Structure 1
């Protein structure tokens, strides 16, 4: 096999002869996962880290084709190879259209299969090896790094891992020549080594196992780790000099910090998964790993395809009340994902997965329908409450959205006057004139409009002048700053003055203490929500809360 193949994973999907295929593949140095296929097979392939998938369609061509179709999106997105093992009468055109990258008409020759798998592996490494890394996220040079990390963790030290992949080295070599390219890579390695050694001394370790890969392990406090990553990033975005030539090398980063539940292997795995996500991203080139057990975003995006039909998306309601201590007057509808493996996930993870899966509009429609259905079923004690639900920038840009949304409300039987639609100030609305027209149509029908997360982005004043609004929702960070310095309070006071001049009520989010509530009330805030009042609740808990005074 090629260098590093002994660490690579082969994922075999077979309803019959998978074990026999696995024995031969393991003898050839592969780490093998055998799977019967079916629901969620793409998620299982992604979790395995496999760079090559073999779909055995010899005995059941229809099942083989269906499995290939289920994995086609994964293959296209990640650059993995999909080898279809078929009988002589297979429909090769259909397999190609479904996403297969290679095929083998099986003659029973074990050597033919072995060479076909090897060839597929070379395809994956050549086409996207630079983007995904060796063995699609396999940990490079594990012994030296792993042993040191294990020792640091056993001593109770805080450990961070940075995995850096210098990107598009094929383009660098084509533009500069291989010799210059190698010299520039060596210079990048030298600078990373010098910065790490200078800042951390023996508490830092740099490994450069393969071409453009750099692994940095550090036993240090979070602040110093942050400084290290900042200095390394600054060095790598500057032009590097070698052999009288200069060039800027792109890079992708995966970062992870040890937690109480981590051992060396899990910390290495989380950093590696973060690097894979960064390489696969069209945007963020640096990914920071979540805690052990958090799902990579691509895996969540795959799971989301099934979440709606399984009823995993739910709605909770967070109460809002006048900040002067009056009774609860409204709620904000908040989406939650009751993930089958990971438990409850918040709206951030839900909508990030939807964006990755291009399901944002479908998810938004589903959530709107859920909110209206819940409201329609509420007991009399809740029917006086105003309900705020979120619209996305994608919603506001859809032709005919206002009419479609109003028709949905009418069909639900919920009075339109009980609804507030919230738009996010940081939601990157590109066409304010289109959004303004949509919101004006909704507002003319009796809905109110709130600008959420006010103070988090750069478009605040443009939104205030362009959009028809009734409320400003003060971002949590800005609201909590009321307990900070005089400067913080001055900023909050300025927002309140601005809101009053525009005849807008202000809702403060995330209020946790009585002191925060009192200070915001003194500055003229109108409503508040947060754990001081109540956490997000289901309908039954909300009804019980309504029976008690605030």
Structure 2
């Protein structure tokens, strides 16, 4: 053991010494390089300065030669070259004043003053010669000759001075380089001796390897973006927690979280903003959990929380509710406010989950159930797990169903107020699944919104709605129709053109078509929304903002968006008669819409009292079960014929 320790000490000493030697050698190389570079820079700068002085000498000489030519024959032909040359050395003098060294700047300033007098003399000489003033011409010619001689002498002196400086710099650099070369040779010899002793550096390498292995193990068990545990570490901890529970320890709770509309943020604002959102979610989850709990990111926008010391399933539900409250809320992403929300599913071991695999699977089923039904939080229940295989194949079936024409449209009327005339019909999609029967939109639209099927689905609904509108129009019932449009459609720059093509195909009037856009898209990507909606509005299509009031900060976009209509969400109309707050909010929304010249539609009207209340508030249209539930197309004419009876009673 003592011999091993000694070898280890020798190796470390050798490594330190070699490191110092190499560092000194590198420093010498850097110093040598910097010395040479500095000398070269100084020489180049001095050479450039010398060149400026040389050009000054030449330009003054040229000016004087042109002066002599002009004095020999003072006609217009020789006058113009002399006039053009006067002051030609000024740019060189200004350069020296701005870029030359202290001595050159001082000399340039002195010469500039003299040069100014010289140019003044030349101009006076030309004026005297032009006026046939022979005495004046001779006087100025003598002054010019003396000035030119003095200026050239000053310029040549500065050229010589700078050339001498270059020689001194190069000589000093050569001397310094020779000294540095000797030092480099000495250090190289010492380093060569130290290299021989570095065979034992393998011990240091081994230590570094062990450290790297630990780092790699951390990376393998943690998410690189958020620093949270990853799926591998979560699985290990779940297995360990279940083993502890089997030995008499507390039960195991598992929460699975999936963010809402994360794909829209990622696609609209870019992956950088998506990463910022994920990091903010991780921060909130860490802050809302105990140190003993394990927070993990499973991939994408899916997170998990392993709960320690959970006694029963309800305890996991309580934690899930608290966690969702802490998670939800607006977040700043690059100056844009984005709403964070999600769905949480939870499960518990030992019942109903009986293994680690079931615990994870059950939490996933519960999370999907919460997301699909907009519950926020849901615990695992056996009855919610019956269609897991069907859900797995849902999107593939939907793609095929669209191609096969399995979609159906039901229509819910809107009435105008206060006269209660039929103001339009909203198209609501249904899917006649060959095995599962007639499915409402909540069964398949959320999945379509998370995939590339939303475009195909929306275009199919538009095609069917415009076709049905044409059939009604040909039967003498010209009624406006409204169609819901997903955010994915508005992010597609070609979507407005396809809408225009469908309008032309069905010989429809653009103003009789309304596209209803959910408020969340205005918040997530206002620029894309404004661009797409502007094109649609130019075609004459009406634009409605649906479910108004559900998201954050939507009012700030109302003024800038090209809108025609605003639909008050049913959660507000339901409270008009029951709470003062509900009536105040609905009234404020109606007043705001009227101030912006928007038509207001109140959704969720289910009784005469609520209808009367919104009429008193000035609402223009109403929609709800009081008037009519969604009907298939063949039921609409009969309803329209019968609606006048209750409307006038």
TM interval, shorter chain, is 0.5 to 0.7
Q: Specify the alignment match of 2:606 in structure 1.
A: 512
Q: Report the 3-state secondary structure (helix = DSSP H, G, I; strand = E; otherwise coil) of the residue aligned with 2:397.
A: helix
> Cα RMSD (Å) of the superposition?
4.8
Q: Specify the alignment match of 2:169 in structure 1.
A: none
What is the aligned length? 351
Shift of 1:394: 2.2
Map Cα deviations across residues 96-150 of structure 1 (whole Å, 9 max, x no partner). Answer: xxxxxxxxxxxxxxxxxxxxxxxxxxxxx9x999279869x99x969x99xxxxx
Distance 1:541 1:129, change over 3 A: same
> Does 2:436 align with 1:347?
no
Shift of 1:362: 2.1
Larger deviation, residues 456-465 vs 525-534 = 456-465
1:406 corresponds to which of 485, 488, 500: 500
Give the TM-score of the pair, scaled to structure 2. Answer: 0.46
Map Cα deviations across residues 458-509 of structure 1 (whole Å, 9 max, x no partner). Answer: 2422331111111110011112121222122111111111111111111011
Q: Specify the alignment match of 1:308 in structure 2.
A: 402
CA contact (8 A) 1:420 1:450 kept: yes
Q: Specify the alignment match of 1:56 in structure 2.
A: none
Instruction: Give, in whole Å, the separation in 2 of the partners of 1:166 and 1:434.
Output: 29
Instruction: Give, in whole Å, the separation in 2 of the partners of 1:317 and 1:235.
Output: 39
Q: Specify the alignment match of 1:370 in structure 2.
A: 464
Instruction: Give, in whole Å, the separation in 2 of the partners of 1:428 and 1:132.
Output: 39
Instruction: Give, in whole Å, the separation in 2 of the partners of 1:212 and 1:307.
Output: 39
Bigger share in strand:
1
Instruction: Give, in whole Å, the separation in 2 of the partners of 1:525 and 1:252.
Output: 34
Distance 1:436 1:165, change over 3 A: closer
Map Cα deviations across residues 277-311 of structure 1 (whole Å, 9 max, x no partner). Answer: 859x99x9x86368534557544334323221343
> Does 2:343 align with 1:255?
no
Give the TM-score of the pair, scaled to structure 1. Answer: 0.53
Distance 1:269 1:341, change over 3 A: farther
> Does 2:428 align with 1:327?
no
CA contact (8 A) 1:163 1:214 kept: no
Instruction: Give, in whole Å, the separation in 2 of the partners of 1:218 and 1:455.
Output: 37
Shift of 1:448: 1.5
Instruction: Give, in whole Å, the separation in 2 of the partners of 1:375 and 1:524.
Output: 29
> Does 2:518 align with 1:424?
yes
Q: Specify the alignment match of 1:523 in structure 2.
A: 617
Q: Specify the alignment match of 1:76 in structure 2.
A: none
Distance 1:381 1:480, change over 3 A: farther
Distance 1:504 1:354, change over 3 A: same
Shift of 1:417: 2.6
> Does 2:432 align with 1:338?
yes
1:164 corresponds to which of 255, 258, 262: 255
Instruction: Give, in whole Å, the separation in 2 of the partners of 1:236 and 1:509.
Output: 29
Spell out the pairing of 1:75-474 with structure 2 (5 A cutoff): 130=231, 163-164=254-255, 188=292, 218=312, 227-231=318-322, 254-255=345-346, 272-275=361-364, 288=378, 292=384, 293-295=386-388, 298-378=392-472, 380=474, 383-428=477-522, 430-474=524-568
Bigger share in helix:
2
CA contact (8 A) 2:411 2:425 kept: yes
Instruction: Give, in whole Å, the separation in 2 of the partners of 1:331 and 1:234.
Output: 37
Shift of 1:456: 0.8
Instruction: Give, in whole Å, the separation in 2 of the partners of 1:234 and 1:530.
Output: 31
Distance 1:131 1:371, change over 3 A: farther
Instruction: Give, in whole Å, the separation in 1 of the partners of 2:592 and 2:343.
Output: 42
CA contact (8 A) 1:393 1:428 kept: no
Shift of 1:328: 1.7
Instruction: Give, in whole Å, the separation in 2 of the partners of 1:314 and 1:131.
Output: 44
CA contact (8 A) 2:466 2:503 kept: yes
Larger deviation, residues 465-474 vs 432-441 = 432-441
Instruction: Give, in whole Å, the separation in 2 of the partners of 1:484 and 1:467.
Output: 32
Q: Report the 3-state secondary structure (helix = DSSP H, G, I; strand = E; otherwise coil) of the residue aligned with 1:329.
A: strand
Q: Report the 3-state secondary structure (helix = DSSP H, G, I; strand = E; otherwise coil) of the residue aligned with 2:456.
A: helix
Map Cα deviations across residues 265-286 of structure 1 (whole Å, 9 max, x no partner). Answer: 89x979834426859x99x9x8
Instruction: Give, in whole Å, the separation in 2 of the partners of 1:405 and 1:236.
Output: 38
Distance 1:480 1:234, change over 3 A: closer
Instruction: Give, in whole Å, the separation in 1 of the partners of 2:324 and 2:409.
Output: 41
Instruction: Give, in whole Å, the separation in 2 of the partners of 1:236 and 1:486.
Output: 29
CA contact (8 A) 2:603 2:622 kept: yes
Instruction: Give, in whole Å, the separation in 2 of the partners of 1:408 and 1:450.
Output: 19
Map Cα deviations across residues 47-94 of structure 1 (whole Å, 9 max, x no partner). Answer: xxxxxxxxxxxxxxxxxxxxxxxxxxxxxxxxxxxxxxxxxxxxxxxx
Q: Report the 3-state secondary structure (helix = DSSP H, G, I; strand = E; otherwise coil) of the residue aligned with 1:481.
A: coil
Instruction: Give, in whole Å, the separation in 1 of the partners of 2:565 and 2:495.
Output: 21
Unaligned runs of 5+ in 1: 1-124, 146-160, 168-184, 192-210, 238-250, 258-262
CA contact (8 A) 2:347 2:353 kept: no
Instruction: Give, in whole Å, the separation in 2 of the partners of 1:434 and 1:232.
Output: 32
Instruction: Give, in whole Å, the separation in 2 of the partners of 1:252 and 1:333.
Output: 28
Q: Specify the alignment match of 1:12 in structure 2.
A: none
> Does 2:577 align with 1:483?
yes
Q: Report the 3-state secondary structure (helix = DSSP H, G, I; strand = E; otherwise coil) of the residue aligned with 1:427.
A: helix
Unaligned runs of 5+ in 2: 1-220, 224-228, 247-251, 259-288, 296-304, 329-341
